[in-house]
Amino acid sequence: MNLPNPHTPVLTSRLPRVGTTIFTVMSTLASETGAVNLGQGFPDFDCDPALVNAVTAAMQAGHNQYPPMPGILPLRQAMAAKVEALYGLRCDPSTEITVTAGATQAILTALLAVVHPGDEVIVLEPCYDSYVPNIELAGGIPVRVSLTPGSFRPDFGRIAAAITPRTRALIINSPHNPSGMVWSESDMLALQALLAPTDVLLISDEVYEHMVFDGQPHQSAARFPGLAARAFIVSSFGKTYHVTGWKVGTVIAPATLTAEFRKVHQFNVFTVNTPMQHALAAYMVDPAPYRDLPAFYQRKRDLFRAGLASTRFRLLPGEGTYFQCVDISGLSVPERDLPEADFCQWLTREIGVAAIPLSAFYGDGFDQRVIRFCFAKRDDTLQQALQRLARL
């Protein structure tokens, strides 16, 4: 910029340690190099055309002005019906469900609503990259607790040890990005027992709730009364209906928590785009799309895992989500010894497949020789990636 007044105001960053997200970095590199993008988590296939038609119909019907602040009632009612049918939780759509601009906004808004400066918020690492900066923006102190190394299972001894009188909230995420692990019923019961004598709130990030494989049920916090009573339960239509770019999600929380959530939400985004809400409400009448999603993604997981099984990548378990983690330490190439992040850059540029280093999900950049692939891709995309990966 060539401005007449050269004085530049001094600015102290609110997030001094934050750069551009790894997902944006790797997607940009994949498109610059023409690599198959198995990095950032999003489908490379389209959503159901009926859903797109429903948006068009909503726009043509004149649903183009501000919706009510908490979201249109039919969508909140559809969510309430679904959560009761699937998880047995009865919630009031008028006071306990809010439509958000995706899960990312939901989590930030929940934190801004409940965290006072100096409050501690526990995250379980590796964790989605927005959590810690969100806690910091709310003035909170992130407390990082490691999931069990190797298995990524929750370690309740470590979680218990991290709880102090300053702990305001704990963020959990099952099915888990990036590891693909899924919390069991006994995990959720252990968490319920642990939190029972405390005032710790729970933010349960359940955006992959319909991607749990091998016949396991999703153990939503909504199934556990002691957790639901203290939880913001976060869902995202982006994952469930293959529309990550729509950025529409929901938060379910008891009325007292929802009231605080909405105080922030109304001055944060105020509302979420109207035609998409109408389309989603109409589309949700049919349970088939989310009922059939586990089988849809399980087939892709199996295809991708079968292809990787004959390579030197070591497969980690994958119980849920559309991510598959692999250990790179047994590869035949010398680049296997690069730090994970550099290895992913090399893999994208030289082998033509983009992936995400697990170190990006740790505050201290912990490097365990593991990278993450996204298999929410057309079969031919996965086959092309597998052909390239077989060279290693």
Residues lying near ligand GLN in the complex (CB under 6 A)? 21, 23, 40-41, 177
Which is closer to ligand PMP, CB of 211 or CB of 389?
A: 211
* Residue 111: φ, ψ to 5°: -65, -45
Q: How far is the CB of 219 from ligand PMP (least distance, A)?
A: 16
Residue (of 263, 273, 212) closest to 239 by Cα position = 212
147-to-52, 60, 225 alpha-carbon distances in Å: 39, 49, 24
CB nearer to ligand PMP: give 27 or 177.
177
- State in angstroms the smallest separation of the CB of 281 from ligand GLN: 24
Residue whose CB is less far from ligand GLN, 23 or 290: 23
Residue 173: contacted member of ligand PMP, ligand GLN, none (CB under 5 to 8 Å, by partner type): ligand PMP
Q: What is the DSSP letter of 270?
A: S
Q: DSSP code of 218?
A: P
> Which position has the token pair 């910029």?
1
Report whether the peptide linkage leading into residue 175 is cis, meaning its omega lies within 30 degrees of zero: yes
What φ, ψ does residue 212 adopt, rounded to 5°?
-125, 130
Q: Which residue is nearest to ligand PMP (CB)?
A: 102
Between 72 and 356, name the residue whose CB sits nearer to ligand GLN.
356
Percent helix, strand and coil across the chain, each to the nearest 5 = 45, 15, 45
21, interface contact from ligand GLN, ligand PMP, none, CB < 5-8 Å by kind: ligand GLN
Calculate the dihedral angle through the C-alpha atoms of 149, 155, 161, 164, rounding to the nearest 10 degrees. 110
Q: Provide the minimum distance between the beta carbon of 205 and ligand PMP in the complex, in angstroms, as a whole number.
A: 5
Report the nearest approach of ligand PMP to the CB of residue 366 (Å).
Answer: 18
User: Which regions of the chain does DSSP assign to beta strands (E)?
Assistant: 36-37, 97-100, 120-125, 141-146, 167-173, 201-205, 231-236, 249-252, 314-315, 323-327, 353-354, 356-357, 370-374
Give the residue with the Cβ less far from ligand GLN, 21 or 184: 21
Give the Cβ contact number of residue 274 at 10 Å. 20
Residue 205 binding target from ligand PMP, ligand GLN, none, CB below 5 to 8 Å by type = ligand PMP
* CA dist list (Å): 140 to 36, 160, 200, 257, 325: 38, 19, 14, 18, 31
Q: Which lies closer to ligand PMP via its Cβ, residue 134 or residue 167?
A: 134
The label of the residue with tokens 């929410």 reads 376
- Out of ligand PMP, ligand GLN, none, what residue 40 binds, judged by CB under 5 to 8 A for its kind, is ligand GLN
> Whose Cβ is closer to ligand PMP: residue 272's or residue 344's?
272
> Which of ligand PMP, ligand GLN, none sits in contact with 102, Cβ below 5 to 8 A by type?
ligand PMP
Task: State the Cα–Cα distance between residues 59 and 74, nearest whole angstrom.
Answer: 16
Instruction: State the nearest-atom distance from the C-beta of 152 to ligand GLN, in Å.
Output: 15
Q: Which does 167 bind (CB under 5 to 8 A by kind): ligand GLN, ligand PMP, none?
A: none
With CB under 5 to 8 Å by kind, the binding choice for 103 among ligand PMP, ligand GLN, none is: ligand PMP
CB of 244 to ligand GLN, least distance (A): 7
* Footprint of ligand PMP (CB under 6 A): 41, 102-104, 128, 173, 177, 205, 207, 236, 238, 244, 247, 249
CB of 263 to ligand PMP, least distance (A): 21
Contact 389, 350 (CB under 8 A): no
Nearer to ligand PMP, 44 or 350 (CB): 44
